[in-house]
Structure 1
C-alpha cells in the first residue's frame, strides 16, 4: 500500500490490447453478438493515475433505461432483458462489451485499467506432477483464458455462470513462483529476480496463504464473469495442481463517479496518485523485462509482488481527520499534498509550518514512498480492496490485496518496503498477512500457450 497504488482511470495513452468484443451467441442474447463493439475512448481528466476506463455518462444511462423501460417494467429486471424479441435483441451496454485481447506483447492485467472485481489464486503442482503435466495445464488454462476473455463459453464443461454476459473487460494473468522451477526440473531457468523476498520486521505472514508454484490473477467488471473464470480455471487444474490459496477483491465500478478519478481505498484515502505512467520515458524500463533480458523466456514479462495487507480500520477510524491526513501526507477529500495544490501537484517536502515543523511530516506515507526518496525505485500498483467478514469480536477483516509490477523487485518493491518498515506512520494501522512473488512472462503469441517458451525452450 503506497502513494502510487490502485489506479482507476487516467488520460494517458497506453499500449492497448483491447478490441471490439465478439462473444458467442451462447453467452449472449440472440443477435446481440454481431452488434457489440468496444466504446472505450481516451478523455482528459486531472487525475495523475496511469490508466483510463470509459464510463457510461448519466445521459447515456438514462437513454438506455428509457429504451428498455417497457420490457423491464413488464417482466422485471434481467428477465425482461432476456425476454426481448429475438429479432430486436438489445445489445450489451459498453460495460459488457469491453474486451481485452489474450495474445500480445505483454500479458493482460498489468497495464489495463483495474476492474470492479478481482480474484487471486495460487496453485501447487500435485505430488508426482512435473514439467509435462505443467505444460499440459498451461495449455488448458491458455485455451480457456482466450475464450473467456473473448466473451465465449469455456472450451468444455462450461457452467453457464456467465451466460448472457459479454467479456466485461476480463483479464487473466499467469505467473510462476520460485518453487515451480524445482518442481519441474527447470532450476537453471529460474530468474535471480525471483529469489525470496527478505523478511520485514512488520510482517505477520501466514505461510499457508503465501507464495505457490503457479499464480493466477483474474479481473472483470462483472462479478459473475470473474467468478466464472475462476471456476473454469480451477476445474482445468484437474489432478495436475491443487489450490493453495485464493483471495477475492473489489474496486469501485466504472461509471460510479461523475468523471474518471483515482480510486479510494477502505481507509477513504485517494490511492494511486503518482503511479508510473506508460507515457513516462522510463516506464517500460521500470516495469517490464527487456526483450534482451535474462532469462530469455522472461522477455517482455514482469514481476508481481502480492501482499494481503489488513487495514486496522477500528484504530484508523478513531483518528481525527487531521491526524489521518498527517499519517498519509495528503488531504483526504482531494488527495492534494499537505503542502498545497491539487492531487497532481508535486509535493513540497521543504515547506514548513509556522512552528518550523515540516508541513508534510517526515514519517508521512506519501513522503516515504516517493521514488525520489528511494533512489528512483518505482512500481506499478494495481490493487483490489478486500473484505472477508468480521472476527468474533466484530473487528473487520478488510484491507488491500496489494499487487505491484516491476522489472526487478530488488530495485522496485524491496527498497521501498525496507524504508516503510523503518518508520512509516501508516505501519501501526496496517498488517501484512500474506505475501508472494511471481515471475510473469510476456504475452503469448498467436498459436502459443502461456509459458511455452519456458516449458518447451
Structure 2
C-alpha cells in the first residue's frame, strides 16, 4: 500500500444594448407613424435523431460492466492509493460506496447526495468498473489470496516508466459516449474516496465518437492504424477463454494491464507510407494485412515477394504481437490521448493500451517480451506508464463489488 465576481456600478453592457435597441425601436415607430410590433420568436424544436444519451448498461451480473459492453467514446482511468493505516473494514466501506455510486449513475440517476444530479441524466452507455492492485487484495484476503500475476510487470528494455502514470492500489474505469457524463461520474467517485484513498493518477482518453462510423468498426490510434482488429466478438467462446477467470474469489473477473504508450508524432511524420505500413504489417487505409485485401483477412507470414523477402517483415508489429500459441491471446481495450506539452517537452500524444486476460504472466508477458525484443514500432513509441489490476467479479442486487473476498 502506497502513502499515500466582483459587482459593477453603473449600467451593464447588456442593459446598455437592450436599452439602445428599445430606443431605436421607439424612434423607428415614430418616424414610420405606426407602432412597431415585436418580432415573433422562433419556435424551439428538438431533433432526437441519433440521440444516445438515454442508453444504459446493466450494472448487476456475473461480470462487471465495461468489459463486455462496447467501449464508450470517452474514458477515464483513475488510480488511487489507500491511505496509510487502512483496514479491511475501510476497504469494505469504500467498495460499498463505489458500488452504490455505480448502481445509480449507470441508470442516469445522481449519486447519493449528488449536488448536480442533472449531469448524470444522460448516461450514454456509462460503465464504471473497479479493480484492485496488490495492496488492496492483500488487505482484503491476505497474501495467500493474491494471484501470482498481480503486481508490477517485469522490466522491459523499451520502458521509460514514470511514477506519475504507474501502479496504484485500486482502479476505477469510467467510460461513456458523453464526456460530461464521464467528468461528473469521475467527480462522484473521487469525492466518495475522500478520507479512504488519495488519487494517484488520472488518465483520460478518447475513441471515435458515437455515430461517426458503423457499429463494430475498429478504432484507430493516432498513427492512423486500426487498433484491436484481432479482438473476438464478446459472444465468442474465444473471448471467454481469453478473458474470464473461472475459479477462486476472482471467478467472473479478469485482469487489466494498462500501459501508457507515448507516440513520437514528429518522427512518425518523417516516415513515408510504405515505411509506416511495413512497420505495422497492415495497409493504413483498409487495415488489411499486407498479404490480404480486407481488415480481418488472416495474415500470411510465410508469403514472400518476387525477391524472396517476407511480405510481412519478421519484425513488423502485427507479427511480433501475434502469439503462435492461441492460449496467449489477449483482448485489447485502447484509448487515444492528446495533451498539451509540459514546459519545453513535446506534446503528450499516445495510446492508453489496455490488455484484458485471465492470466497476465501466461498471456500478456510473453507478447510484451517479443515486442520489446524486436518490433519496428519501437522506433516511434515509448511506454511511460504501467499498472496491473485484478478486475473484480460483478455482484447481484444484494451484494457489492469485492464481496467475494470481503463479505
What do the CA deviations read for 1:345-399 (whole angstroms, capped 9, x no partner)? Answer: 1111111111111111110001111132x56411111111111212444622111
Map of 1:231 onto structure 2: 187
Are 1:426 and 2:377 matched, yes or no? Answer: yes
Are 1:219 and 2:175 matched, yes or no? Answer: yes
Are 1:353 and 2:310 matched, yes or no? Answer: no
What do the CA deviations read for 1:224-244 (whole angstroms, capped 9, x no partner)? Answer: 000111000000002011111
Aligned residues of 1:351 and 1:359 also touching (Cα < 8 A): yes
Aligned residues of 1:177 and 1:213 also touching (Cα < 8 A): yes
Aligned residues of 2:281 and 2:316 also touching (Cα < 8 A): yes
Map of 2:23 onto structure 1: none
Map of 1:414 onto structure 2: 365
Question: What is the alpha-carbon distance in structure 1 between the residues aligned to residue 253 and residue 345 of structure 2?
Answer: 42
Map of 2:245 onto structure 1: 289
Map of 1:316 onto structure 2: 268
The 5-angstrom pairing of residues 126-145 of structure 1 reads 126-145=83-102
Aligned residues of 1:137 and 1:237 also touching (Cα < 8 A): yes
Are 1:261 and 2:213 matched, yes or no? Answer: no
Map of 1:330 onto structure 2: 282
Question: What is the alpha-carbon distance in structure 2 between the residues aligned to residue 394 and residue 204 of structure 1?
Answer: 15
Shift of 1:412: 1.4
* RMSD of aligned alpha carbons: 2.0
118 and 348 in structure 1: CA distance in 2 versus 1, 3 angstrom threshold: same
Question: What is the alpha-carbon distance in structure 1 between the residues aligned to residue 209 and residue 230 of structure 2?
Answer: 21
Matched position secondary structure for 1:107: coil
Aligned residues of 1:116 and 1:252 also touching (Cα < 8 A): yes
Are 1:150 and 2:110 matched, yes or no? Answer: no
Are 1:115 and 2:72 matched, yes or no? Answer: yes
Matched position secondary structure for 1:308: strand
Shift of 1:220: 0.3
427 and 253 in structure 1: CA distance in 2 versus 1, 3 angstrom threshold: same
Map of 1:188 onto structure 2: 144
Aligned residues of 2:55 and 2:125 also touching (Cα < 8 A): yes
Matched position secondary structure for 2:360: coil
The unaligned stretches of length 5 or more in structure 2 are: 1-40
Aligned residues of 1:313 and 1:396 also touching (Cα < 8 A): no
290, 296, 307: which one aligns with 1:344: 296
Aligned residues of 1:125 and 1:183 also touching (Cα < 8 A): no
193, 200, 215: which one aligns with 1:244: 200
The unaligned stretches of length 5 or more in structure 1 are: 1-72, 85-89
Matched position secondary structure for 1:204: coil
Count of residue correspondences: 367
Question: What is the alpha-carbon distance in structure 2 between the residues aligned to residue 127 and residue 410 of structure 1?
Answer: 29
Question: What is the alpha-carbon distance in structure 1 between the residues aligned to residue 323 and residue 232 of structure 2?
Answer: 10
411 and 191 in structure 1: CA distance in 2 versus 1, 3 angstrom threshold: same
Aligned residues of 1:169 and 1:221 also touching (Cα < 8 A): yes
Question: What is the alpha-carbon distance in structure 1 between the residues aligned to residue 276 and residue 209 of structure 2?
Answer: 26
Question: What is the alpha-carbon distance in structure 1 between the residues aligned to residue 262 and residue 118 of structure 2?
Answer: 30
Map of 2:353 onto structure 1: 402
Map of 2:81 onto structure 1: 124
Higher mean alpha-carbon deviation, 104-113 vs 91-100, is at 91-100
Are 1:366 and 2:323 matched, yes or no? Answer: no
Higher mean alpha-carbon deviation, 390-399 vs 217-226, is at 390-399
Map of 1:97 onto structure 2: 54
Shift of 1:186: 2.5
Question: What is the alpha-carbon distance in structure 1 between the residues aligned to residue 303 and residue 284 of structure 2?
Answer: 19
